[in-house]
Amino acid sequence: MASVRLKGITHRYQRTEVLRDITLDIEDGELMVIVGPSGCGKSTLLRIIAGLERPSGGDVEIDGVRVNDVEPAQRGVAMVFQNFALYPHMTAAENMGFALRNLGTSARETDARVRETARLLQLEPLLDRLPGQMSGGQRQRVAIGRALVRNPRIFLFDEPLSSLDAQLRIEMRAEIARLHQRFGSTMVYVTHDQVEAMTLADRIAILNAGKLEQVGAPLDLYRSPRNLFVARFLGAPRMNLLEGELASASAAGAEVRVRGGPVLRVAAIADRLAANARVTLGIRPEHLRPGPSAGDLEGQVSVVERLGDRTLVHLDLDIGAEVLCEDRGESPIRVGERVHVHAPAGAFHLFDESGIALPRIVAA
């Protein structure tokens, strides 16, 4: 186990800057998920930790030792690749034992350690199979086994579940979580899937266009996104956004005039903004409750998605915006109906013109 510290990491490919001044501490035994949209630089960051790529600037430290000039094999990291990267002409056992053999471990000890890991991951029946003779899930387990057998200081996962089907993804996610609990290893996990990030992470680092947007525990980020990007990125379905301007602000809260619509009360401190400043109001679908009357906003139902435990209602508001709200599973709402929606002041998020979140007033 080990801690990882990234200090001011920048990286460029020719003239394109893919990582900008990334500073991130990953604690010993922590499962850190780096999440962001495609092309945000998250895999590059992981490869920099692995030593497969050299950063253009900044330092990588493992257990307080600068490792910029240390070869990948000497860093004590093991990586699970997106497409597994199993050696196609080696059996599962040979794949798993390859690193140990290269380190000069005896054939007997390698075999013993491979079998022990295989037992742990229920891979024993597959040990003599070639990767081409295994299913995607089995290959994934072998790839994890290959990482595990070396007993590395740090595990790196590069979108390891992206090529699996939905059901298998859920199973493997739980498997990785179990492994982390069992071994308490330091893990850095890269994904573009915010559900994976939310379910697996001790902490999440959100990356956007090479910049670290926010780092924190999953629920902290979900409840208190620092900016519009984080607010929109975390949560499925996404947070609704409404444009408006500040009507009034005080220590007790703010009032926002939604563009073309009513004034809504928001439990946020906005007194640093000028009167009538342009703001964005954010509200998660689960906080926006539909009803037949007496709501803040009114509109016509365009789509109803019935998921069993809940119903997602797409609404074309009279003020010209579209919002998504959640109702109970047995919702009577139908397409074409007129519906009112309402949310408590404490459920709103408020962002200034540059997309930065304003402090929320937490109810005592």
Stretch that binds another protein, among 26-34, 73-81, 171-179, 293-301 (CB under 8 A): 73-81
Interaction of residue 13 with another protein, rule CB under 8 A:
no
Give min distance, CB of 92 to another protein, in A. 14
Number of H helices, E strands in the chain: 8, 20
- Member of 2, 4, 31, 50 binding another protein (CB under 8 A): 50
What is the four-CA torsion angle of 162, 168, 173, 179, rounded to 10 degrees? -120
Binding segment for another protein (CB under 8 A), chosen from 74-82, 233-241, 246-254, 300-308, is: 74-82
Please return the burial class of 238, using the count of CB atoms within 10 Å of its CB with bins 0-12, 13-18 and 19+. Answer: middle
List the one residue from 78, 93, 234, 270 that touches another protein (CB under 8 A).
78
Q: Which is nearer to another protein, 48 or 228 (CB)?
A: 48
* Chain residues 101-130 in contact with another protein, contact rule CB under 8 A: 102-103
Task: Tell me the backbone φ, ψ of residue 224, rounded to 5 degrees.
Answer: -130, 70
In angstroms, give the least distance from the CB of 103 to another protein.
Answer: 5
Is 351 a binding residue for another protein by CB under 8 A? The answer is no
Contact flag: residue 72 with another protein (CB under 8 A):
yes
CB contact at 8 A, 147 and 129: no
Site string for another protein, 135-154 (x = CB under 8 A): -----------x---x----
Write out the two tokens for 321. 């915006």
CA 158 to chain CA centroid, nearest Å: 13
**Angle between helical axes of 136-149 and 107-120 (0-180°, round to 10):** 130
Sign of CA dihedral 86, 92, 94, 97: positive
83, 106, 135, 250: residue in contact with another protein (rule CB under 8 A)? 83
- Of the residues 7, 10, 52, 319, which one makes contact with another protein according to CB under 8 A: 52
Specify the residue, 146 or 360, whose C-beta has the smaller distance to another protein.
146
236: DSSP letter:
S
Q: Candidates 1, 70, 99, 209: give the one binding another protein (CB under 8 A).
A: 99
69 touching another protein, by CB under 8 A: no
Degrees, nearest 5: CA angle 270-275-277: 75
Contact map string, positions 329 to 348, toward another protein, x by CB under 8 A: --------------------
**How many residues line the site for another protein (CB under 8 A)?**
23
- Residue type at 137 in one-letter notation: G
Asked whether position 89 contacts another protein by CB under 8 A, the answer is yes
DSSP strands (E only) in the chain = 4-13, 16-26, 31-35, 57-62, 65-66, 77-80, 154-158, 186-191, 203-208, 211-216, 240-250, 253-258, 263-266, 278-283, 289-291, 297-306, 310-317, 322-328, 338-342, 349-351
CB of 221 to another protein, least distance (A): 30
Q: Does 90 bind another protein (CB under 8 A)?
A: yes
**Residues of this chain that bind another protein (CB under 8 A):** 50, 52, 71-73, 77-79, 81-83, 85-90, 98-99, 102-103, 146, 150
